[in-house]
Amino acid sequence: MLLMTMAPTGDKRKREDDTENGDSGDAKSSAGTQHPLSGFRLQTVLRESARDKTIFLHGQVTGDGQDAEDAVVILERAPFHVDTISPLLANSPELKLQLKNDIYSVYQLTPPPELNEVKTTIIRPATDKHIKKYLRQEIYLVQETGEDYKNITLPFIESQSFSIQWVYNILEKKAEADRIVYENPDPEHGFILIPDFKWNQKQVEDLYLIAICNPRGIKSLRDLTADHLPLLKNILHEGQEAILKRYSIPGNQLRIYLHYQPSYYHLHVHFTALGHDAPGITVERAHLLCDVIQNLEMDSRYYAGRTLTYALRADEALLKQFKEAGKC
Ligand code: DD3
């Protein structure tokens, strides 16, 4: 069964800028009746992982008699969850023997369609940046000083037209409003807590929510000062409380952190299940929110001045900037 995870949007969107972040424009434009993958022609397999049970595809789709459009399609087999184990075993009439040897036997079970879900994420139209993002690449560490941020990274971020329309759609309730788990409406110290795209919400083992802050213009960790402590503390405490209420997961079983570099430049905090190795929890990217709060309490300018180390893909334009400046 195909499951659309991105809000369906109209095809004919007038766009000025190109986007990195899968801007879906007006989230409420009409969906059209066509299957979003009708006539998908596979061009390349960008990446695949047998371990993660995922495959990232690049291809073309033809929308309603329009020109071919690039699309990135991400397929992922869903995890098991306890509640569906009994129906899975009871309702799978087909159990094909593959081999039997002593006390060991291997079968192939064919689940009923409703228990055989493949999570399908579609980015369409996809830009070159989207396509490149999922290509497997060598990665390199960069050590960004406060000066490097001012001279290299900030000008680079500002020169890019990263669209974060989808973030504003969430904040303005133009998209995903029915998915909001918690909201503190304070314009300066408030935020929206919502399940991340990556989580299908069917089992708490791989719980993944994001807190998107209400104030605009806080790009990342680098911009944070002691002035943001009330906002950060609200996100930490109210976020934990909301997750305890909704999912019965206590705060000491949550990994709550920010990314540097983030994948979009509007301050957000990740909440993931501690037992789940979500992508992006590596030491070179994740900064625990509780540590961030402590550091800012000790020194309001901590993140403006600190050298931050992170990894960049070989083809990333920011890496080229660092190379040209002789910094790596
Ligand atoms: C994104 C980072 C961005 C591809 C993909 C995801 N959670 C989102 C739009 C709506 C969302 C997210 C960019 C984009 Cl697969 C390119 O993520 C989103 N809605 N992470 C939610 N709830």
pLDDT for the residue numbered 102: 97
Whole-prediction pTM value? 0.85
pLDDT for the residue numbered 19: 38
Are 94 and 139 contacting, i.e. CB atoms less than 8 angstroms apart? Answer: no
Question: By alpha-carbon position, which residue is closest to atom 3 of ligand 1?
Answer: 21
Across the beta sheet with 118-123, the strand order is 2-4, 118-123, 68-77, 54-62, 41-49
121 CA → ligand 1 middle, Å: 10
CATH number of the domain located at residue range(s) 137-324 in this protein: 3.30.428.10
151 CA → ligand 1 middle, Å: 29
The answer to whether the CB of 310 is under 6 A from ligand 1 is: no
Whether 259 is a known active-site residue: answer no
pLDDT for the residue numbered 82: 84
pLDDT for the residue numbered 87: 87
Using CA atoms, how far apart are residues 299 and 80, in angstroms rounded to an integer?
Answer: 45
Q: In this structure, what DSSP letter does residue 125 have?
A: S
- Nearest atom in ligand 1 to 198's CA: 20
Q: Beta partners for 123? A: 72
Going residue by residue through the chain (328 aa), what tens digit of pLDDT does each one get? 233 333 333 333 333 333 334 344 444 444 455 788 888 999 999 999 999 999 999 999 986 666 889 999 999 998 888 888 988 888 877 789 999 999 999 999 999 888 898 999 999 999 998 999 999 889 999 999 999 999 999 999 999 878 899 999 999 999 999 999 999 999 999 999 999 999 989 899 999 999 999 999 999 999 999 999 999 999 999 999 999 999 999 999 999 999 999 999 999 999 999 999 999 999 999 999 999 999 999 999 999 999 999 999 999 999 999 999 999 8
Q: Which one from 228, 259, 266, 268 is the annotated catalytic residue?
A: 268
Alpha-carbon distance values, 309 to 98, 235, 285, 327 (Å): 49, 25, 8, 12
pLDDT for the residue numbered 65: 66
pLDDT for the residue numbered 26: 45
pLDDT for the residue numbered 207: 96
The answer to whether the CB of 183 is under 6 A from ligand 1 is: no
- Nearest atom in ligand 1 to 197's CA: 7
- Count the residues in the chain: 328
Helix (H) or strand (E) holding 51, with range, is none
Using CA atoms, how far apart are residues 235 and 61, in angstroms rounded to an integer?
Answer: 40
pLDDT for the residue numbered 17: 36
Are 11 and 32 contacting, i.e. CB atoms less than 8 angstroms apart? Answer: yes
pLDDT for the residue numbered 18: 36
Q: Pocket of ligand 1, candidates 24, 54, 128, 166: which has the most ligand atoms within 8 Å of its Cβ, to mutate?
A: 166
Q: In this structure, what DSSP letter does residue 8 have?
A: P
The answer to whether the CB of 123 is under 6 A from ligand 1 is: yes
Question: By alpha-carbon position, which residue is closest to atom 19 of ligand 1?
Answer: 197
Using CA atoms, how far apart are residues 284 and 140, in angstroms rounded to an integer?
Answer: 11
Q: What are the structural domain ranges in the chain?
A: 2-78+117-123, 82-115, 137-324
Using CA atoms, how far apart are residues 74 and 147, in angstroms rounded to an integer?
Answer: 38
